[in-house]
Amino acid sequence: MNLIVDVGNTFVKIAVFQDDKLLEKQSVAVSEFKETQKIFFDKYPKIQKSILSSVGNLPEEALVNLKKRCEVLILDASLKFPFNNCYATPHTLGVDRMALVTASIKNYPNQNVLIIDAGSCITYDFVTTNNDYLGGAISPGIRLRYKSLHQLTANLPLLDTEMPKTIVGDTTAGAIHSGVVLGIIKEIDGVIADYRENYSDLTVILTGGDAIFLSKQLKNSIFANSNFLLEGLNFILEYNTH
């Protein structure tokens, strides 16, 4: 039984896998991780190993406590991965993107796959039928765009995410919603279309916190999977400990 820990900038995702089956997952504030991991270990005493993926800051005390309970694998570029990393600067590649590519190899072997992770940033990662990871793109996510408009201008308000009723915003709020949300939808559809010009057999995966919200609006055929990163982390753990 495996414990998966994915530390973001604000929240920590915690999941338990039995082989390939996801038994439970939670998302908690970083400050709540210590208590939450205790609850998980009490509920699942058969947890033997864990993988930690971190793009944020996990308190050292929390990591020490985790290592006391089970074997811990820290996700970094030195581990074994089931793909050929063709990224020109592999040491700068985010660990979350490595996990997403790994999940694509496991779930869609020998296929051209574009993984779109819609979170704080929107990342695009492409892997070929030969398991060659070529790279992709990074752009601002939904909340980052809303916050940037508010923080980097004098008068624009900070709004909650909302699907605009029309592309023509006839108020400042409507114009912001149109620019942010419809702008992202057009971006994602355009990126998918560009990839499909070169790879007609392309499989597209949409994941991340905004995946469900965006998937209903996209024109292109996609697979929405909010657990894709967790599945990739679990596979990396198994791949490196067997």
Is 96 among the residues known to form the active site? Answer: yes
Q: How far apart are CA 183 and CA 230, in angstroms?
A: 28
- CA 208 to chain centroid, in Å, comes to 5
What are the φ/ψ torsions at residue 9 (nearest 5 degrees)?
-70, -30
The DSSP string of 80-122 is --SSEE--SSGGGS-HHHHHHHHHHHHHSTTS-EEEEEESSEE
Of the residues 19, 20, 42, 96, only one is catalytic, namely: 96
| Signed CA dihedral, 116, 117, 119, 123: sign only | negative
Q: How far apart are CA 240 and CA 79, in angstroms?
A: 7
Which tokens belong to 155?
């008068």
* CB neighbourhood size of 37 (10 A): 22
Q: How far apart are CA 47 and CA 69, in angstroms?
A: 9
The DSSP string of 16-50 is EEETTEEEEEEEEEGGGHHHHHHHHHHH-TT--EE
Enzyme catalytic residues: 96
